[in-house]
Amino acid sequence: EQWDTSIVAEVAAATTTRDFFSAAGTPAEGRLGIEHWLNPDWRIGAFAGTGLSRGVGAPDWRVGLHVAFGVQPPRPRPHWTADDQDGDGIPDDEDECPTEPEDKDGFEDEDGCPDIDNDSDGYLDVDDPCPDEPETEGGLSDDGCPDRVALEEGGLVLLEPIRFEVDSDEIRDESEPVVAEVAEVLRRHPEIRVRIEGHTDAVGPPAHNLDLSERRAQTVRAHLVDAGIDEGRLEAHGYGETRPLGSNETRRGRHRNRRVEFKIIGAEDGAVEEVQ
């Protein structure tokens, strides 16, 4: 959340009960200030003001600072009623779990039951990085998520891209599981050799992009070797911006063009033809 800064304008006035709205008994003041929320509970501010009348107590001018603090009250606990025993807002006659409150997590919230494993893959949602996507049964990794890599004729298909830091060959932490699954595919298929191809968009000088794509391909190769894959099974080559998949004039096209691909270039039994 963002805590805003606000401009505040105020006019304050008072009058006496003995002589309503008389000049002397009706001081008035105008103030202009600024307030800034430091967090949900604290805010600070400053103001300057001047008198708007000649009433007693109206200043010639005034400046001030203030600090305000408050605590948000706790949310009230669900209220039990005879028609809604678990207090989840779903009447018992419509609630499949009338004594267990719905967890309101956006998944089947209308059935009235808590969902501790939304995707039913055996990984509790609190421990599942992909709570709404089931783990691939017998897949490459046991992390609660579907596989990110598939072996198809001609190459390895990445269902999730390998991402790098901007203008860098450093692989982002979020993509380490993708590289790990590529290594697992190669481990399960020791007969194949692959070429790791690096590609970029057309932003920047072509020579720089060619170098960047080469370094990224080599970085992925090094990660696979570190994971135990024989380096003799791995080639790496950068193509820069020369093989785009989309238009470099659009953001979506540039996103598609920044990629790493894995092409099968041979097998021990010679059954796989080289892919150009």
The residue that leads in pLDDT, 49 or 123, is 49
* pTM (2 d.p.): 0.51
Does the residue 79 lie in any domain? Answer: no
d(CA 260, CA 238): 9
Whether residues 154 and 60 fall in one domain: no
Please identify, among 69, 93, 114, the residue that sits at the C-terminal boundary of a domain.
69
Residue 1 pLDDT: 41
**How much is the average pLDDT of 62-82?**
71
Q: Which residues contact 108 (CB under 8 A, 6 or more apart)?
A: 115, 118
**At 165, which CATH number?**
3.30.1330.60
Residue 3 pLDDT: 55
Question: Edge to edge, what strands does the sheet with 28-37 contain?
Answer: 5-13, 28-37, 42-51, 62-69
Whether residues 154 and 263 fall in one domain: yes
Question: Is residue 3 within 8 Å of 27, Cβ to Cβ?
Answer: no
- Cα torsion 76, 77, 81, 87: sign: positive
Q: Per-residue confidence at 274, pLDDT binned at 50, 70, 90?
A: very low
Does the residue 121 lie in any domain? Answer: no
The residue that leads in pLDDT, 117 or 54, is 54
Residue 144 pLDDT: 54
The per-residue pLDDT for range 245-263, each reduced to its tens digit, is 999 999 999 999 999 999 9
Does the residue 37 lie in any domain? Answer: yes
According to DSSP, residue 61 is labeled -
Give the chain's mean pLDDT.
79
Question: Is residue 163 within 8 Å of 179, Cβ to Cβ?
Answer: no
Would the pLDDT of 2 be above 50?
no
Does the residue 39 lie in any domain? Answer: yes
Please identify, among 36, 53, 69, the residue that sits at the C-terminal boundary of a domain.
69
The per-residue pLDDT for range 177-202, each reduced to its tens digit, is 999 999 999 998 999 999 999 999 99
Whether residues 153 and 241 fall in one domain: yes
Would the pLDDT of 140 be above 70?
no
**How much is the average pLDDT of 221-239?**
96
The per-residue pLDDT for range 90-138, each reduced to its tens digit, is 787 777 777 777 666 666 666 667 666 555 545 555 554 566 555 555 4
Please identify, among 69, 85, 103, the residue that sits at the C-terminal boundary of a domain.
69
Would the pLDDT of 264 be above 80?
yes
Whether residues 167 and 256 fall in one domain: yes
Does the residue 100 lie in any domain? Answer: no
Residue 154 pLDDT: 75
d(CA 107, CA 119): 9
Structure tokens at 136: 């691939």
**How much is the average pLDDT of 147-174?**
88
Would the pLDDT of 163 be above 90?
yes
Residue 275 pLDDT: 32
Q: Which residues contact 151 (CB under 8 A, 6 or more apart)?
A: 157, 185, 189
What DSSP string describes 73-88?
PPPPPPPPBTTBTT-S
Residue 237 pLDDT: 98
Does the residue 99 lie in any domain? Answer: no
Q: Which domain range does residue 49 map to?
A: 5-69
Question: Is residue 213 within 8 Å of 205, Cβ to Cβ?
Answer: no
Would the pLDDT of 239 be above 80?
yes
Does the residue 172 lie in any domain? Answer: yes
Q: How far apart are the first and last CA of the chain?
A: 49
Counting the structural domains of the chain, the total is 2
Does the residue 109 lie in any domain? Answer: no
The per-residue pLDDT for range 22-44, each reduced to its tens digit, is 777 778 788 888 888 777 778 88
Whether residues 156 and 245 fall in one domain: yes
The per-residue pLDDT for range 198-216, each reduced to its tens digit, is 999 999 999 999 999 999 9
- How many helices (H) and strands (E) the chain has is answered by 3, 9
Q: What is the CA radius of gyration of the chain?
A: 33
According to DSSP, residue 237 is labeled E
Residue 42 pLDDT: 81
Task: Report which of 246, 248, 182, 159 is spatially closest to residue 209, judged by C-alpha positions.
Answer: 248
